[in-house]
Amino acid sequence: MLPQELIRRKRDGASLKREEVKDFIAGLTSGAVSEGQVAAFAMAVFFRGMSREEAVGLTLAMRDSGTVLQWDLPGPVVDKHSSGGIGDNLSLMLAPMLAACGCYVPMISGRGLGHTGGTLDKLDSIPGYATQPGLDLFRRVTREAGCAIIGQTADLAPADKRLYGIRDVTATVESVPLITASILSKKLAAGLGSLVLDVKMGSGAFMTRMADAEELAESLVDVANGAGLPTTALITDMSEPLAPCAGNALEVAHACDFLLNRRSDPRVMDITLALGAELLVSTGIAPDAAQARSRLEAALTSGRAAEHFERMVAALGGPANFLSTFRERLATAPVIRPVHADREGFVSAIQTRDLGLAVIELGGGRRVASDVIDHRVGLSQLLGKAARADVSQPLCLVHAADEDSFAKAAEIVKSAYVVGERPGESATVLARITG
C-alpha cells in the first residue's frame, strides 16, 4: 500500500491491518517514507487513536525495526519503566535489588524529558560510566553483574528514534497509542520476560489527572500483554518529590546511601518494594507480594544489592570502589544554601513540576536537546507534604553554580511550596492495573 493511502485510511478512522503498519514502519526505518508522511501519520493517530490490535501491531513493527535481543541466562529477564517525575531515582536501587534476588535486568533508560529527570543523566554523574555501550558489553554486564542500566542503542528499535523525533516537533507527543508503542517497542527489543510499569500521577508528573494516568497505564498493560510480554502497572503518587532531592549527582548520592542502608525514605522504600514485588511474583521467584517484599528487603539489608550495583558501575567503566568513595567521586556545586518559606507552618501542597523547572534553571536539565548538563546542581533535603517548615527547617538546600542561578532557583522553590496551618496528605501507590 502507498504510504499516503495508509495515512488517508487512518485519517478517515479506518482500522489498520498489521501488515500495513509493518510496511509503513519499514519505510520509516529505511527512509522510503518521508518525514512529511510520518508527521501526517502521527497526526492522524493523534486525532483518531488506535485499537488495541492496531497498537500491538505498531509496537511489534517498531520492535522488529532493529535487533531483538535473545538471552540465555539462569534466571528471569525483567525490567521496570517509569513515566517520569521529580526525585525518581528508583531504577538505581531497584535494578540491583532485583539482581540480588536472582533476576537479570537489562534496563534501557532515557534522558531527561521536559521538567523530569532522566536516569542516564544521573548515571553520567559517575566518572567513566558508559551509558551508551555496544550490545556485546551490554550483554556481558547484564550476565556478570545481574543488571545493566544503559541508553537506547542504534540497534534497538531505530524506528522509534525517528518517529519520536518527528512527534517532538509536530505536537503529537501526547498521543497514548504512540507513547505506548514508543515505550514498549524498546522493552520488547530488550528481550524481556516480565515488565512492571510505574505510571506517575500528580503535580510533578506528565499525567496530572487520575483518569489520564489510568488511560496510559491500561494502554501500556493491554498492548504489552497483547504483544506477549507479561506486564502489570502501578499508578504512583507524584504530588511531591519522591526522593528528598532532585538533580543528577544528588540523586546518585541518595541512591548510594539507600543501597548502603544509611537512609530509608518511607515513600521511596514503599514504591521500590511494590514495583519489585510485582516482578518477583510475575516470574515465580516469590509466591506472593508479602514474601517478595521480604526477599527484596533482605537483598538490601544484607548488602547484596549494593554489591550488584558496584559490579555494574565498574563493568561499565566507573570506579571499582564507587560505593565506598562516591562522595569524593561525585562533583559538588560551589554554592549550597538553604531556602526558607516566607511563613512558618506545614507543607500542605507542592507544585512539584516547578521543582523540576528549578533544576533546569540551575543547569541540571535541558532547555534544548543540545544543552550540556551541570551534574553538580540541584535541590537536596526537600520537604515533603505534611513536613513542618520553620526557621530551623528550610524548604530545601539549593546547589548552584553561581549566585545568580541560586537566586532564580530559590524564588521558584518558594513559589512551588504552599505552607499553611494544616499538613498535606502523602501517598504512594494509588492503583494497580493488571489488564
- The CATH number covering residue 314 comes to 3.40.1030.10
Options 111, 139, 161, 187, the catalytic residue: 187
Range of the domain at 145: 78-326
Residues 308-352: pLDDT tens digits?
A: 999 999 999 999 999 999 999 999 999 999 999 999 999 999 999
Q: Give the highest mean pLDDT range of 8-17, 110-119, 154-163.
A: 8-17
- What is the Cα–Cα distance from 93 to 67, expressed in whole angstroms? 28
Q: What is the pLDDT of residue 372?
A: 85
- What is the Cα–Cα distance from 383 to 387, expressed in whole angstroms? 6
Give the confidence band of 114 by pLDDT, cuts at 50, 70, 90.
low
pLDDT of 435 > 80? The answer is: no
Mean pLDDT confidence for 98-105: 98
Tell me, what DSSP letter sits at residue 422?
A: S
Options 59, 142, 153, 182, the catalytic residue: 182
Q: Is residue 321 domain-shared with residue 339, that is, in the same domain?
A: no
Options 81, 295, 311, 329, the catalytic residue: 81
Q: What is the pLDDT of residue 154?
A: 82
- In the annotation, is 122 catalytic? no
From the centroid of its chain, how far is CA 18? 29
> Pick from 281, 69, 45: which is nearest to 172 by CA?
45
Q: Is residue 24 domain-shared with residue 146, that is, in the same domain?
A: no
- In the annotation, is 81 catalytic? yes
Residue 289 lies inside a defined structural domain of this protein = yes
Q: What is the pLDDT of residue 369?
A: 66
CATH of residue 412's domain is 3.90.1170.30
Residue 72 lies inside a defined structural domain of this protein = no
Q: Is residue 251 domain-shared with residue 395, that is, in the same domain?
A: no
CATH of residue 41's domain is 1.20.970.10
> Pick from 115, 116, 119: which is nearest to 107 by CA?
119
Residue 431 lies inside a defined structural domain of this protein = no
Q: Is residue 316 domain-shared with residue 356, that is, in the same domain?
A: no
Residue 67 lies inside a defined structural domain of this protein = no
Q: Is residue 181 domain-shared with residue 232, that is, in the same domain?
A: yes
167 CB neighbour count, 10 Å cutoff: 23
Options 10, 63, 80, 399, the catalytic residue: 80
Options 65, 119, 153, 352, the catalytic residue: 119
If you write DSSP's letter for every residue of 224-264 in order, what string do you get?
Answer: HHHTT--EEEEEEE-SS-SSSEESHHHHHHHHHHHHTTS--
pLDDT of 192 > 70? The answer is: yes
pLDDT of 84 > 90? The answer is: no
69 CB neighbour count, 10 Å cutoff: 18
pLDDT of 103 > 80? The answer is: yes
Mean pLDDT confidence for 68-95: 95
Q: Is residue 252 domain-shared with residue 167, that is, in the same domain?
A: yes
- In the annotation, is 263 catalytic? no
User: What residues contact 174, with CB distance under 8 A and at least 6 apart?
Assistant: 46
The number of domains in the chain is: 3
Q: Is residue 104 domain-shared with residue 214, that is, in the same domain?
A: yes
The residue from 326, 355, 389 where one domain ends is 326
Mean pLDDT confidence for 398-419: 97
pLDDT of 291 > 70? The answer is: yes
pLDDT of 176 > 70? The answer is: yes
Mean pLDDT confidence for 97-109: 96
Q: What is the pLDDT of residue 423?
A: 92
Options 111, 161, 162, 186, the catalytic residue: 186
- In the annotation, is 187 catalytic? yes
pLDDT of 168 > 90? The answer is: no
Residue 57 lies inside a defined structural domain of this protein = no
Burial (Cβ within 10 Å: 0-12, 13-18, ≥19) of residue 367? exposed
Residue 56 lies inside a defined structural domain of this protein = no
Q: Is residue 134 domain-shared with residue 204, that is, in the same domain?
A: yes
Q: Is residue 369 domain-shared with residue 415, that is, in the same domain?
A: yes
pLDDT of 263 > 90? The answer is: no
- What is the Cα–Cα distance from 435 to 433, expressed in whole angstroms? 6
Q: Considering the chain, what percentage of its residues have pLDDT values greater than 90?
A: 87
Residue 18 lies inside a defined structural domain of this protein = yes
Question: Which one has a higher pLDDT value, 385 or 155?
Answer: 385
User: What residues contact 419, with CB distance under 8 A and at least 6 apart?
Assistant: 341, 342, 343, 344, 345, 346, 347, 348, 389
- What is the Cα–Cα distance from 171 to 44, expressed in whole angstroms? 12
- In the annotation, is 82 catalytic? yes
Residue 435 lies inside a defined structural domain of this protein = no
- In the annotation, is 182 catalytic? yes
Q: Is residue 85 domain-shared with residue 186, that is, in the same domain?
A: yes
Options 29, 59, 82, 239, the catalytic residue: 82
Q: Is residue 240 domain-shared with residue 175, that is, in the same domain?
A: yes
Query: What are the grid coordinates assigned to 398, written together?
Result: 539549593
End-to-end Cα spacing for the chain:
33
Q: What is the pLDDT of residue 73?
A: 97
The residue from 296, 326, 356 where one domain ends is 326
Q: Is residue 357 domain-shared with residue 292, that is, in the same domain?
A: no
Q: Is there a contact between 92 and 326 (Cβ–Cβ < 8 Å)?
A: no
- In the annotation, is 325 catalytic? no
Mean pLDDT confidence for 34-54: 95
